[in-house]
Structure 1
Amino acid sequence: MCCRIGGDEFGVFLKDVTSQAQVREYAEKMGSTYKDKIAELNADVVSSISIGGAVVRRKMNYNRKNIFEDIYRRADEAMYESKKKGKDTWFVKEF
């Protein structure tokens, strides 16, 4: 599922993802597709993509609302870690 959170921020929720490697594969594909689409515009556009992810590796004792908020917060933190690394990067947190 993909949704616009606000401004230029989007959320993507992937079912049955259990490792950083799976997120990395998805993030690299998404980043590559994004660059290709920008190049197709054939315009003087400078743009980059920063991706933050969170992977739940263990069973959590939360209600549905709390787990969503925790995953979202960790993914948001990961996105800012990605931005610190530079342009067109990704960062994943596991918990």
Structure 2
Amino acid sequence: MKSGETVVMDGAAGGVGSVAVQIARHLGATVIGTASERNHEYLRSLGAEPVTYGEGFVEQVRAVAKKGVDAAFDAAGKGSLSALV
């Protein structure tokens, strides 16, 4: 991952996801993080653009990532990122 790239992180508000968001932001990446609504403000505080996982997830990511996504990281282990392929 490098500056200017966009990454989607599933489970971005969890322990592993939070650290991954911070590392990606430090490297200059744009981060789109999945989380429940109650964690969206927390993700914003880390510099991520939050989206809600579940139904409509792909459409939400596409609305935020106008130029597409360069990488994906599944910290939640739910397998939802395969929907982006």
If each structure's helix is expressed as a fraction of its own residues, which one has the higher value?
A: 1
TM exceeding 0.5: no
Q: Quick check: which has more Rg, 1 or 2? A: 1
* Normalised TM-score (structure 2): 0.29
* Normalised TM-score (structure 1): 0.27
